Amino acid sequence: MVNKITVVGAGNVGATTAQRVAEKELARTVVMVDVAEGIPQGKGLDQWQSAPIEGFDSRIIGTNGYDETKDSDVVIITAGIARKPGMSRDDLLNTNAGIVKSVSEQIAKSSPNAILIIVSNPLDVMCYVAMKASGFPRERVIGMAGVLDTARYRGFLAEALDCSVRDIQAMVLGGHGDTMVPLISYTSVSGIPITQLMDRATLDAIVTRTRNGGAEIVKHLKTGSAYYAPSAGAVQMAEAIVNDQRRILPCAAWLQGEYGMKDLFLGVPCKLGRNGLEKIIEVELTADEKAALSKSADAVREPMAAIKL
């Protein structure tokens, strides 16, 4: 447990994230910040009143300013507009860049030693905005994308195989979007290669569904986007950091030569501990996977170049 974790954004993702952080008692105080007057205060009070029932002692408070966030250990940024039907993650680019830039600048002043976990979309570019605006080193700015994409991939595989999600080992790398790269060569079920349990056509269909996982949910909801799984992914990362678990999770990290790439955020296997990003793990990829990762990197660089900070 740390002293304080701040969640920026009191929408569906932010509020669900704050609740999960509190229920896991990752921090003594959980601060939820949002510009909407009364919303973080009301949701925070409602969440705190669930504490006697759920049995957690983490105090949840809501606020419209950053004074209460002072000296946060971890800050999870979910602020920004959500996707609507027909919108791509890149459609959110300019609006959310301004929001994330402002938030990151304020967090850097109030919590200069915090570790940032970015959830706002388009994810990889928003990580870049947060790192530049905050001035934090790459070890303390990490994006939540691969954890979510991998969860979707594992969930679809478990459904198709009629087995427990716990037995699916998998990892999805690359940008958080249509070019993400599920690593089929590293996908297994209790150590059994997935290619021995599933034909390639079925596997390819699951890979496609994984890439469109967020859009599928947006299409159903019509007025919003996913929040249960994204919040779970962000909190898994926060838990690994707070408890110094040294978990190896697929996260967006600022590459400086790893995988032959430099100066961009991209989903790669990351070891997370008390210092944030402890290490980037480089694994051997097949020729197809290397090509797909390179294509994914190109898809991230294009919107990055359009950002003016």
At 218-229, the pLDDT tens digits run 999 998 899 999
Angle between helices 200-211 and 213-221 (to 10 degrees): 60
Q: Specify the pLDDT at position 262.
A: 96
- Of 29, 13, 23, 28, give the one whose Cα is nearest residue 76: 13
Superfamily of domain 2-143: NAD(P)-binding Rossmann-like Domain (3.40.50.720)
For the chain, which ranges sit under pLDDT 70? Answer: 83-84, 87-90
Beta bridge partners of 182: 172
String of b and e for 268-295 (b: at least 16 CB within 10 Å)?
Answer: bbbbbbeebbbbbeeeebeeebeebbbe
Give the Cα separation of 209 and 206 in Å (integer): 5
CA distance 19 to 50: 9
For every residue of 45-63, DSSP letters joined together read: HHHHTTHHHHT---EEEEE
Identify the pLDDT of residue 149. Answer: 97
Domain spans, the chain: 2-143, 146-306
Helix (H) or strand (E) segment spanning residue 154: helix 146-161
Q: How far apart are CA 194 and CA 207, in angstroms?
A: 12
Rounded-to-integer distance, Cα 147 and Cα 142, Å: 12
Residue 89: what pLDDT?
A: 60
Res 83: pLDDT: 66
Could you tell me which CATH number the domain at 146-306 has? 3.90.110.10
Q: Where are the beta strands (DSSP E) in the chain?
A: 2-8, 27-33, 59-63, 74-77, 115-118, 141-143, 168-169, 172-173, 181-182, 188-189, 192-193, 247-256, 262-273, 276-280
User: What is the pTM assigned to this prediction?
Assistant: 0.96
Coil, helix or strand at residue 220: helix
12-21 pLDDT, tens digit each: 999 999 999 9
Q: How far apart are CA 292 and CA 55, in angstroms?
A: 46
The whole-number pLDDT of residue 224 equals 87
DSSP sequence for 274-295: TTEEEEEPP----HHHHHHHHH
Count Cβ atoms within 10 A of the Cβ of residue 34 and give its class: 0-12 exposed, 13-18 middle, 19 or more buried: buried
220 catalytic residue (yes or no): no
Query: Under a CB-based contact definition with an 8 Å cutoff, are residues 47 and 22 in contact?
Result: yes
Return the structure tokens found at 65: 């300013």
Name 216's Cβ contacts closer than 8 Å, sequence gap at least 6.
209
Catalytic residue among 20, 83, 89, 176: 176
3-state DSSP assignment of residue 199:
coil
Cα first-last separation, the chain? 35
Which contiguous run of DSSP H or E holds residue 234?
helix 228-242
